[in-house]
Structure 1
Amino acid sequence: MHRTDQARAVELGTPDGRWITVCDARELELDPGSGTAVLLPGGGQAAVFRTATGELLAVGNRDPFAHSWDIADGITGSVDGAPTVSSPLGKRLFDLRTGVCLDDPSRALPVWPVRLRPTG
């Protein structure tokens, strides 16, 4: 994804097959590798990331260990080619594609499919 002036919505897929708009893609184009916390219907949160290669990925924003809403503030990187995020408090590493904690595979973040939709 490259910086443009064209407005595009970031949408997350829901388990029932719907797509929900969560933010404008320009919010994710300013700093590759950073995340943005977004509110979900029903009060939950997701953390949407744009990787250095431009891939958009979304995982739950609640750390399953610290129970804090801060995964979007984590440090991104990669392990064996898989994009990752390190939780801010516990520094546990999560695979952004699967949500699985690489330090403790018994824990995982929920994941959502992500797509871009032109808005104008």
Structure 2
Amino acid sequence: MSHDRLPQTWTPVCTLDDIVPNTGVCALVNGGQVAVFHVADGEGGVYAIDNFDPGSRAAVLSRGLIGSLGERIVVASPIYKHHFDLRTGECLEAPENSVSAYPVRVESGKVWVAA
């Protein structure tokens, strides 16, 4: 069975207006902490990755700084400054510390995360 056919549980986390552009918030989704980011990139990008930074062993990614490295939209962990790709969860400096990325959608101004 292919992964994209698995049923997804969508959880409403907040309104898009609750997230200041170019910042993130932490949300509890299915019992786990997820960092949800609103990137003011002209496309209205909203992304979700695990909030837990494996490098520092702390739940801090939602407080990181958003930027870009080449074509990648990333968040820099506030502790060791490792960059995580918001689309894939890949840790650029230490791929073994990559995190999960989650589908996100915005409907009627509300942000939903599937995890």
The answer to whether the superposition gives a TM-score over 0.5 is yes
Offset at residue 23 of structure 1 (A): 1.2
Does residue 1:100 correspond to 2:90, yes or no?
yes
Q: 1:62 aligns with which of 52, 74, 85?
A: 52
Other-structure match for 2:11: 20
Other-structure match for 1:48: 36
User: Larger % of helix: which?
Assistant: 2
Other-structure match for 2:67: 77
TM-score (norm 1): 0.79
Q: Which runs of 5+ in 2 are unaligned?
A: 1-5, 111-115
Q: 1:37 aligns with which of 26, 34, 42?
A: 26
- Across the aligned residues of Structure 1 and Structure 2, the Cα RMSD in angstroms comes to 1.7
Other-structure match for 2:113: none
After the TM superposition, list the runs of 4 or more consecutive aligned residues in structure 1 that deviate by more than 2 angstroms. Answer: none
How many residue pairs get aligned? The number is 103
Q: Which runs of 5+ in 1 are unaligned?
A: 1-14
* Aligned residues of 2:37 and 2:62 also touching (Cα < 8 A): yes
User: Larger % of strand: which?
Assistant: 2
In 1, Cα distance between equivalents of 2:98 and 2:109: 33
